Chains A and B, each alone.
Chain A
Amino acid sequence: MSKPTDLVQGTLDLLILKTIALESMHGWAIAQRIRQISKDVLQVNQGALYPALHRLEQQGWIEAEWGESENNRRAKYYSLTKSGKKHLQSEQANWERLAAAIGLVLKTA
């Protein structure tokens, strides 16, 4: 796999983890939330969300549970696991450090 995809994937993972940090959500709601919060800047194919969710679940950062949705339908809700929370913290710190560094380079260079 080439590097740019890795970058996008890592970013998407981070966004998903951050989004469900407060409450468990189903896939569609996660997609909506990311779109709203990023003010439509981050536009990914909505479908790309699901492989990422399944991978995160496989890695044990998040767990899934079937539940009742707001329109009374069965939906798969994702929430952070304990280790997922720790992972999010360290990844967020990493990201911020990296973003700050890149910002610094772009401003000064």
Chain B
Amino acid sequence: MRWLRSISNRLRNLFRKDAVERETDQELRFHLERQIALHTAAGMPPEEARRAALLEFGGVEQFKEECREARGVNRIESLLADVRYGFRSLRKSPGFAVISVLTLALGIGANTAIFSMVNALLLHPYNFRNLDSLVRVWENRGIDEGYDARYIAPADAEDLRSSNGIFEGLTTYSFQSFSLGTEGDVQPILSCRVSANFFDILAVNPAAGRLFSAAEEQPGADQVAILSYGSWQRRFGGDPQLLGKTISLNGRAYTIVGIMPKDFDYPVPVELWVPLALTPAEKADRAQLSLSALARLKSGVSVSQASAVLANFSRRLQQEYPRTNAGRSTTLLQLRKELYMFTLPLFLLLQAAAGFVLLLACANLANLVFARMIGRQREIALRAALGASRGRLGQLFLSETLLYSSAAGVVAIAASFASVRALRTSIPVGWTKWVPGWDGIRVDGSVLVFTIVAALGVGIFLGLATMLHTSRVEPNKTLKETGTGTVTRAKRRLRSGLVVAQVMIALILLVCAGQTIQGFVRLANVYQGFEPANVLRVEISLPEKIYAANVKITNFYQQLLRGTASLSGVRHASLVTNPPASNVDNETTFFSIEGQPALKVSETPSADLQIASPDFFDTLKIASVAGHTFSDADNADAARVAVISHGMATRFWPNGDALGHRIKPGAADSTEPWLTIVGVVGDVRQNWWNPLTRPVIYKPFAQSPQRSMTLLVRAASNPTSYVSAVRDVVRQMDPGIAMEGINTLEEEIADSIAIVRIMGILMGIFGLVALALSSIGVYGVLSESVAQRTHEVGIRLALGANPRDLMKLILGQALKLTGIGLAIAVPCAIAMGQAMANLIFGAITVDFVILGGFTALLLLVALGAGYLPARRAMSVDPVVSLRYE
């Protein structure tokens, strides 16, 4: 408790200074009066008693000062004086103040902006209670699926839910696209079918209405829906009376029972949630991994403990159901980690880059401060001569630099509100629709704390650096000197060191930025196997009620294709279920090969399933590898055919004899008809995360018509100009058809890698800022050291030195410093490049063109930074420069 009293005393001493002073006066006066009384009682005359008492007491004012010192008032008062002094010097040289505050604000602001992204996307991607206990659970079939599917079989999920002690609860969900509305106005709407406990597991409440009840999980009782806030606003104008009303989904009436809060968008931004009502047969299915699962761990259960329990669980199922579950294992991953498994290292890279920018800003400011310190050497020497201790001087510097950095922090915070808003709004919605947490990017408490800590850290760092720089002031020598003061060898070395460090950091940052951007460009080009240019995509879904029969569906689409293809300038028009870059995985299916039955259900191979109209391959210019693609003859009455991807052909028919073999979707005993392979086409990258060579089975549209298809139109040029024409074609056929996702394929591809693109842009900005800061820094130090040699240059010129040689001398100095920095930085940059290689799917590689280019660029900057001041120094008349002091 001693410290508590001490603090309260100190505060009282500081804030009630006058009262405390008065009390001290009173206390001392009391003492003197008693002493005088003692003497007069002994018979002294009053005047003499008073003098004796004062003599015995000693210097009253001196002791008062000592009392103040003892109470610790002086230290705080001197600090306040220093801060006042700092403000005065800020006001006296506003240019310096503005430049240093802005430089620091830039560095701190860059870090704040990135941290606000990291904070929103990585630390708080979802606003769920106790986010770390939420885990995704899925099963692996133990055979190479060719991609990372994260699904679980319904019956296995049910077993898992009822039979273990690790989960508080487990919920399942799957996506479904509905047609919303009735005749005349039908729109596709993405929804998520969820178990009744879905929202309970996530611990979220509706903004209005209620959640699903367990009874509504039964088929027949499931016609209730919960709307997302966004779709309530967009589609229903925020109608406050909406609860209890019915909407039509796929022709069935659903009652709206709830509306979710604004920020709820799990698992992805869907518009609607409906109960996942599985039939008993669907529930008992163990073969198909068809559901996504999410669980909440019991408190105290760690992920590794849970994984161990799941391993046992999988073993038990393998033994109980060998036909379906052999080789199957269960995996568990924290929700937080699942989301940003790929992007976490990228964010760390960005944060590191922002940190480098701050370091550069610090180095620049340190240079500015040091330059000013040289001018202030006499003042400092005078202070030291008058008895200021080293600690006292340090306090002076520290309070000055802290003042700058706090001002910079304030500017950075003020700017960050604007920059974060700009970051959020300047990026098209299309780019960020797949980035959960993006809307949560804001300047919140933790961002503020981060900024304040960064600002204080910078201030302390700079203050200490200044202290170090001026620690060896010798008042005797400095005060005797005339002129503007000189720079000692040690100090010049320190500042040269700063130039070297700046060049170094700048090169590393530039190279990293360059390589990252190159990597992002490569990633943007991962979409291979087709030509996206000049292709328009339109998602169409036909209402189930009107288009019930396959004939109707086929007729509609055939008419649509004919209508679209006849537009002038249209080269091809076709249909496909899932076009590339949709950010949605293809539907997958098990398949059996005739004559090669899988021994167990669990070993049945799987492939992506696409349904396409004959012109699809020509529309996207997908290469034909063998055989032929579909034709109009492959209609519902003709023999069933399929085209497969090159990756599938080489995997299952390594001898190249895939043509003519027959396959069918499902296990060997399924009732699906056999499909004859008539062609092999080139591999297509479906989404940027999918491997290129996934097996794909294409079925002709006429033989398996679907209501929801994407229309692809290849035009001769300018695909967007066909939007209204295509709309008209559809409207003329049926005004009640919903169209969505109208976009060019090229833009859709750009959107699908938005997050990667945003990062590339940010890295580019950082690289430019780094280049600017380091150029300014190098120029500042060199120009000043040249300016200090104006006198020397004058003498040399007066004595007949060759200007060319002088220029060489000065440039040589500039190049030497830069050269040292570059020599250290090049191996560092190469090492960084190698370390980054695995960050984004191996898209980053050490690139010597980039390395060489930026090295040359920095050398050029150094040459310029030396040349300009050198020319200025030499253009001065020797007579003038000799007088210059």
Binding site for B on A (CB under 8 A): 26-28, 31, 45-48, 50-52, 54-55, 57-60, 63, 66, 69, 71, 73-76, 81, 83
Evaluate contact between B67 and A54: CB separation under 8 angstroms.
yes
Evaluate contact between B70 and A46: CB separation under 8 angstroms.
no
A33 to B311, CA, bound (A): 83
**Lowest 6 A-B CB distances belong to which pairs?**
A45-B58, A51-B66, A60-B2, A55-B70, A47-B58, A47-B63
Evaluate contact between B31 and A51: CB separation under 8 angstroms.
no
- Interface core residue of A28, A54, A60, A66 (most chain B CB under 10 Å): A54
Q: A54-B70, A71-B37 given as contacts; is B58 within 8 A of A48 (CB)?
A: yes
Residue B27 CB within 8 A of the other chain: yes
Evaluate contact between B9 and A58: CB separation under 8 angstroms.
yes
Q: Contacts of B2 on A, CB cut-off 8 Å?
A: 59-60, 81, 83
- Chain B residues 11-43 with CB under 8 Å of chain A are 23-24, 26-28, 30-31, 33-35, 37
Q: A26-B27, A47-B63 are in contact. List 16 more A-B contacts (CB 8 A).
A: A46-B35, A48-B63, A50-B28, A50-B63, A51-B66, A51-B67, A51-B70, A54-B70, A58-B70, A58-B71, A59-B2, A73-B30, A74-B26, A75-B27, A76-B27, A81-B2
A89, chain B: closest CB distance, angstroms: 15
A52 to B512, CA, bound (A): 62
Residue B88 CB within 8 A of the other chain: no
Residue B10 CB within 8 A of the other chain: yes
Evaluate contact between A28 and B30: CB separation under 8 angstroms.
yes
- Chain B residues 45-74 with CB under 8 Å of chain A are 56-60, 62-63, 66-67, 69-72
Residue B312 CB within 8 A of the other chain: no
Residue B6 CB within 8 A of the other chain: yes
Residue B477 CB within 8 A of the other chain: no
A92 to B865, CA, bound (A): 69
A18 to B386, CA, bound (A): 40
Residue B236 CB within 8 A of the other chain: no
Q: A54-B67, A58-B71 given as contacts; is B35 within 8 A of A28 (CB)?
A: yes
Evaluate contact between A26 and B67: CB separation under 8 angstroms.
no
Cβ-closest chain B residue relative to A59: B6
A104, chain B: closest CB distance, angstroms: 35
B26, chain A: closest CB distance, angstroms: 7
Evaluate contact between B60 and A75: CB separation under 8 angstroms.
no
User: 16 interchain pairs (CB within 8 A)?
Assistant: A26-B30, A27-B31, A28-B30, A45-B56, A46-B57, A47-B58, A47-B60, A52-B70, A58-B6, A58-B9, A66-B23, A69-B30, A73-B33, A74-B26, A81-B2, A81-B5
B535, chain A: closest CB distance, angstroms: 80
Evaluate contact between A31 and B26: CB separation under 8 angstroms.
no
Q: Contacts of B58 on A, CB cut-off 8 Å?
A: 45-48
Q: Contacts of B70 on A, CB cut-off 8 Å?
A: 51-52, 54-55, 58
Evaluate contact between B57 and A60: CB separation under 8 angstroms.
no
Q: Contacts of A28 on B, CB cut-off 8 Å?
A: 30-31, 34-35
A53, chain B: closest CB distance, angstroms: 8
Binding site for A on B (CB under 8 A): 1-3, 5-6, 9-10, 23-24, 26-28, 30-31, 33-35, 37, 56-60, 62-63, 66-67, 69-72
A54, chain B: closest CB distance, angstroms: 4
A73 to B26, CA, bound (A): 11
A76 to B26, CA, bound (A): 9
Evaluate contact between B69 and A46: CB separation under 8 angstroms.
no
A63 to B2, CA, bound (A): 11
Q: A31-B31, A73-B30 given as contacts; is B67 within 8 A of A50 (CB)?
A: yes
Evaluate contact between B10 and A50: CB separation under 8 angstroms.
no
Cβ-closest chain B residue relative to A66: B23
- Interface core residue of A31, A51, A71, A83 (most chain B CB under 10 Å): A51
Q: Contacts of A76 on B, CB cut-off 8 Å?
A: 23, 26-27, 30
Q: Contacts of B24 on A, CB cut-off 8 Å?
A: 50, 54
A47 to B10, CA, bound (A): 22
B63, chain A: closest CB distance, angstroms: 4
A54 to B9, CA, bound (A): 10
B69, chain A: closest CB distance, angstroms: 7
Cβ-closest chain B residue relative to A61: B2
Evaluate contact between A47 and B57: CB separation under 8 angstroms.
yes
Q: A45-B58, A59-B6 given as contacts; is B37 within 8 A of A50 (CB)?
A: no
Q: Contacts of A73 on B, CB cut-off 8 Å?
A: 30, 33
A66 to B26, CA, bound (A): 11
Q: Contacts of B63 on A, CB cut-off 8 Å?
A: 47-48, 50-51
B11, chain A: closest CB distance, angstroms: 12
Q: A45-B57, A51-B63, A51-B67 given as contacts; is B3 within 8 A of A60 (CB)?
A: yes
Contact of A50 among B5, B9, B27, B72 (CB under 8 A): B27
Q: Contacts of B3 on A, CB cut-off 8 Å?
A: 60
Contact of B10 among A58, A63, A66 (CB under 8 A): A58
Q: Contacts of B69 on A, CB cut-off 8 Å?
A: 51
Q: Contacts of A81 on B, CB cut-off 8 Å?
A: 2, 5
A54 to B66, CA, bound (A): 9
A48 to B60, CA, bound (A): 9
A75 to B26, CA, bound (A): 8
Cβ-closest chain B residue relative to A44: B58
Evaluate contact between A57 and B57: CB separation under 8 angstroms.
no
B55, chain A: closest CB distance, angstroms: 9
Evaluate contact between B59 and A47: CB separation under 8 angstroms.
yes
A83 to B4, CA, bound (A): 13
Q: Contacts of A26 on B, CB cut-off 8 Å?
A: 27, 30-31
Q: Contacts of B33 on A, CB cut-off 8 Å?
A: 73
Q: A46-B58, A47-B59, A83-B2 given as contacts; is B31 within 8 A of A58 (CB)?
A: no
A75 to B23, CA, bound (A): 10
A68 to B542, CA, bound (A): 98
Q: Contacts of B34 on A, CB cut-off 8 Å?
A: 28, 69, 71
Q: Contacts of A52 on B, CB cut-off 8 Å?
A: 70
A109 to B69, CA, bound (A): 41
Q: Contacts of A69 on B, CB cut-off 8 Å?
A: 30, 34
Q: A54-B70, A60-B3, A74-B26 given as contacts; is B10 within 8 A of A46 (CB)?
A: no
A74 to B23, CA, bound (A): 11
Q: Contacts of B10 on A, CB cut-off 8 Å?
A: 58
A78 to B223, CA, bound (A): 82
Q: Contacts of A54 on B, CB cut-off 8 Å?
A: 24, 67, 70-71
Q: Contacts of A48 on B, CB cut-off 8 Å?
A: 58, 63, 66
Contact of B27 among A27, A71, A83 (CB under 8 A): A27
A66 to B37, CA, bound (A): 21
Q: Contacts of B28 on A, CB cut-off 8 Å?
A: 47, 50
Q: Contacts of A74 on B, CB cut-off 8 Å?
A: 26, 30
Q: Contacts of A51 on B, CB cut-off 8 Å?
A: 63, 66-67, 69-70
A88, chain B: closest CB distance, angstroms: 14
Cβ-closest chain A residue relative to B2: A60
A54 to B33, CA, bound (A): 20
Evaluate contact between A57 and B60: CB separation under 8 angstroms.
no
B731, chain A: closest CB distance, angstroms: 87
B29, chain A: closest CB distance, angstroms: 10
A63 to B5, CA, bound (A): 9
A74 to B30, CA, bound (A): 8
A82 to B2, CA, bound (A): 9
A48 to B28, CA, bound (A): 11
Cβ-closest chain A residue relative to B66: A51
Cβ-closest chain A residue relative to B65: A51
Q: Contacts of A60 on B, CB cut-off 8 Å?
A: 1-3, 5-6, 9
Cβ-closest chain B residue relative to A55: B70
B378, chain A: closest CB distance, angstroms: 29
A60 to B8, CA, bound (A): 11
Q: Contacts of A75 on B, CB cut-off 8 Å?
A: 27, 30
- Interface core residue of B5, B35, B70 (most chain A CB under 10 Å): B70
A73, chain B: closest CB distance, angstroms: 6
Evaluate contact between B37 and A46: CB separation under 8 angstroms.
no
Q: Contacts of B5 on A, CB cut-off 8 Å?
A: 60, 63, 81
Q: Contacts of A83 on B, CB cut-off 8 Å?
A: 1-2
A73 to B57, CA, bound (A): 20
Q: Contacts of A59 on B, CB cut-off 8 Å?
A: 2, 6
